[in-house]
Chain A
Amino acid sequence: MADPEEVVKGLEIIKELKKGPWPSYIGETEKTRYPLKLYAASLYLKRDLWTTGGYVSVPGVPTGILMRVTSRPDIGESANVVRIYLPSGNFVTSKMLRNIADFADKYGVSMVHAITTSEDFEIPGIPKERIRDFVSEFRASGMEVGSTGDAFRNTTTCVGPALCEYALFNAPKLRDDFYDRFNDYAKYPTFPHKMKLKVSGCPLDCARATQKGDIAIVGSWEGAPRIVKEKIENMPKERKEEIARSCPTGAISIRKGQLDIDGGLCIQCMKCIVMSDGALLPGERKKYLLYVGGKLRGKKGPFTAKLVEKFDDPYQAFDLIDKIIEVYIENAARKERLGDMLFRIGMKNFLHLIGKEERAHNVKDLRTNIFIKVTDEEKEKMMKELKKSIGGE
C-alpha cells in the first residue's frame, strides 16, 4: 500500500535534517526500527501524533512504565518506554552499554535514549505484552528500571571528587547512600506528585540542583576560599589584579603582592576560583546547603529552589528530607509539586511545618508591603529580642 501524502511529504522534510555538521538524529534513527513515518508525518502536519499515554502497570514496578500511544496506527505503532537507572556520576562501562544495546535490539526498536535530561537511559519502543519479560530479564542482568510515577525520580549528581577538584563532598556517593535509605520512596508511588533530589558538589551546581531539584543538596563553605601557596606564588601580578577586580563583593585585595581574601565578605560564588587555574580552591570550613522547591514543570511554572538549612555534614540532610517528605505528603494537593505547595502555603508556614525557625538565610529579599499583622504576644517577644540584641532596657 502506498504511503499517505503526509508521510511522503514528511519524509522529504526530514531529509533536510540529515544535512549539516551537528550530529543528525534522523541519520541515527534510520538505523533503527523506530516509526520514522509517524514522526515525518507529524512534521508535515505540524501536530503531535502521539496521544495521551499514562503508565503501563507491570508487576514488580509499582511506579509503572511510560506508555506512548499512537493516534495513527496506520503509519506507526504504539510503544512504551522503559527508563533505566545509571550508576552515580553517569559512569558506564562498555559491558553495560552492550547489555543495554542487546535489550534494545531484542525488545525495543534498536534505539537507545542515551541520556535523558534527568540523567537516566531509556529504551523506547517496547510492546506492552513484552514489558514483563523485559523487566525480569533486565533485572537478572544486574540493572534496574524506575524513575517514573509519583515517587522520587532519578537523583542526579555532578561527577564530584571522582574528576573535579572543586567538590566539597562525595556527591555521587551521597546518591548511592540516598538510595540505600530512601529506595522505597523511589519504588512506590506514595507522593502527591513526582519529587526530585539533585546533588551538586559545589556552588557551581553542575547538576543544576537549584534549578531542578524539589530538594537540592549543594556543597559550600564558610569564609574565604583556600589559597594554594605554591601556585599563587607563581601567578603573574596582572592575573592577581584581574582576580581581585572580579570579586563581586570586593572581598579580595592585594597586600604585599599577595592575594588577601576577607572571608567575612566572601559569598562563596566561586568566581575567583574558576579564574585561578587551581591557585584558589573552595574553603576548608565546609557547609552543605539544603534547598527546596525548585522545578520547571508544575502548576505555577518554573521556580528556582529556596535555601532552607545549612549543615556541617551532608548526611544530616537525610533526616530533614524524611521530615520534608512527611510534610509534603500531608499538605500537598494532588499533582502539586513541592514548589507549588510552597508557593501556596508560603515559606514561613513550610518552615514551621518542618520544625524550623525562619532565619535570614531563608530569604532572598524582604517584604515591601507594610500591612503586617502582629499579636500582642508577638510584639512583646519582638521587643525582647531587639533589646537583647542591641541593648537598652
Chain B
Amino acid sequence: MEGPPRPFTDYMPDILKRNMGRWKGHRMVEPGIMEHLSDSEKIYTVRAASTSNARYSTETIRKFADLADRYFGGYMRFTGAFNPEFFARTLEDARRLKKELEEMGFPVGGWGNHLWNITSCAGYFHCALAATDAPSIAKSLGDAAFKYFNQEELPAKLTLAVSGCPSACGGGFLADISIVGIHTEIPIVTENVKSCDLMGTAMICPVGAIQLKQAEKTIEIRENLCIGCGLCVGACSGIIFKTPEKTDGHAILVGGKASSIPPGTQLGRVVVPFLPNDPPRYELTVKAVMRIIETWKREARKGERLIAWIERIGWERFFEKTGLPFYQQSMDDLDLRSLMLLREGGGK
C-alpha cells in the first residue's frame, strides 16, 4: 500500500480498540506514569526520556521491542515530543517497566507540572545548515533541568526545544523555552556558485538581498539587506559562511506553546539574542535557561505556563526578576511587511 501503514488500528492493542472513544478520564500517578480509565477497564502508560536527538542504536530499538513484548503483547508508541511510550496492565507492571527503563539509561518522567521532554534537531550530527549543535545543548539542558523531569514540581507544564538554525526543525519557537541557532555574518559567494540554480537561489531570499548577475553567471549578496538567515547557503553550495566558528551562535526564546488555553497559541520571543557556541556543556546558556525556569517556578501561580506568567507581569518585570539584561536586539525592527511593500510596489 502506498502512504503510511493503515488502518492504524491494526497496530493498536485490543484494549485500545475496545475502548476507542470510551475513555472517561486520566490521571498522573507519578511523573511519567499515567492511568487512563474507561467504563470498565484501565491502562497505564509509561513515558521515558528520549536521547536528545532521538537517535538510538538498533540494539536499544530491539530492547524497546522486547519490553513491548513482555509488558503489552508487542505494542508501544512514540509521542510527538520524542518520548518512547509503553503500556502496562497494572500499576505494579508500570513501576517494574519504569525500573527496567531506568536501568537501561532511560529515566521515566514528564507529564503534569513537570518538564515533559526536550526535542532537538540533528545539529552538526547530520545536517548541513546548523549554526549550533542542538543535540549537545539539549543533553546539557536535560542534565541541568533533570530534577524537574521526574522529581520537583513546576507551576505548569514545561517544554524545551533546541534547533540548530532558524529553520527550527527541532521545534525552536514552539516550546516554553527554545534555543535556536543563528548566523551573524553575511554569507560569501564562491566560484562554486556556477553549479547552482541561480534563479532558485535568488528567489529563496526573504528580503530580496540576492541580485542575479545573469550575464556573469553569478549572484551578488547585498550586505545592507541580508539578514543572515542562511536559506541561500542551504540552497547553493557556492554560498558559504566564512568563519562560522567565530560568528555562529544561538538565541534563547521563551513563551511558545500550542494549546488553546489563554494566551492561546504562541511562538517564542527572543530574550537572549546571542550566545556563543561553547561545547560540550554550554555553561552560560544552561545557566540562563535555568535562571528563567527557577524564576518562573518561584514567582508564577499554580497552573500558569511560562508565557501566561510573563503576560501577567509584563516584560519589564520579566527582565527585572530573572536578572537577565535587556538587549536592544530583542526589539523587533525587522518590518518584513514594509520591506515587501517597497519591493513589490505597494498593496491595497
Contact = CB atoms under 8 A, between A and B. Distances in A.
B260 A21 contact: no
A271 interface: yes
B124 A211 contact: no
Given A93-B75, A161-B21, A205-B258, A114 B84 contact: yes
A334 B198 CA distance: 13
Contacts of A19: 143
A90 B206 contact: no
A27 B105 contact: yes
Interface stretch (B10-18, B211-219, B287-295, B315-323): B10-18
Contacts of B77: 89-92, 159
B277 A46 contact: yes
A161 B11 contact: no
Contacts of A43: 124, 133, 136, 279-280
Contacts of A113: 53-56
B139 A24 contact: yes
A137 interface: no
Contacts of B24: 165, 278
Interface in A275-317: 275, 277-278, 296-297, 299-305
Contacts of A112: 55-58, 61
Q: Please tell me the size bucket of the interface on B.
A: 35 or more
A167 interface: yes
A96 B68 CA distance: 11
B169 A297 contact: yes
B74 interface: yes
A92 B279 contact: no
Nearest to B57: A31
B7 interface: yes
Given A50-B126, A204-B259, A105 B265 contact: no
A13 B23 contact: no
B234 interface: yes
Given A91-B75, A175-B4, A31 B59 contact: yes
B298 interface: no
A31 to B, nearest CB: 4
B66 A94 contact: yes
B324 to A, nearest CB: 22
Contacts of A51: 128, 237
B139 A17 contact: yes
A334 B260 contact: no
Contacts of A143: 5
B231 to A, nearest CB: 7
Contacts of B167: 296-297
Nearest to A334: B203
Nearest to B239: A52
Interface in A28-54: 28-29, 31-32, 34, 39, 42-43, 45-53
A94 B258 contact: no
A144 interface: yes
B261 interface: yes
Contacts of A343: 336-337, 340
Contacts of B43: 163
B143 A20 contact: yes
A4 interface: no
Interface of B: 1-8, 10-12, 16, 20-21, 23-27, 36-37, 43, 45, 48-62, 64-66, 68-69, 74-80, 82, 84, 105-107, 118-119, 121, 123-131, 133, 135-136, 139-140, 142-143, 146, 166-174, 200, 203-206, 231, 233-237, 244-245, 248, 256, 258-262, 264-267, 277, 279-281, 303, 336-337, 340, 344, 347-348
Please name the 7 residue pairs, one residue from A and one from B, whose CB atoms are nearest each other, closest first.
Answer: A22-B142, A278-B25, A20-B143, A203-B260, A31-B57, A85-B4, A179-B3
25 contacts: A16-B280, A23-B50, A26-B139, A31-B60, A47-B248, A86-B78, A87-B5, A90-B78, A93-B74, A94-B75, A98-B65, A115-B54, A144-B4, A163-B43, A170-B21, A204-B260, A205-B265, A208-B80, A269-B262, A271-B261, A271-B262, A278-B26, A302-B173, A334-B203, A335-B235
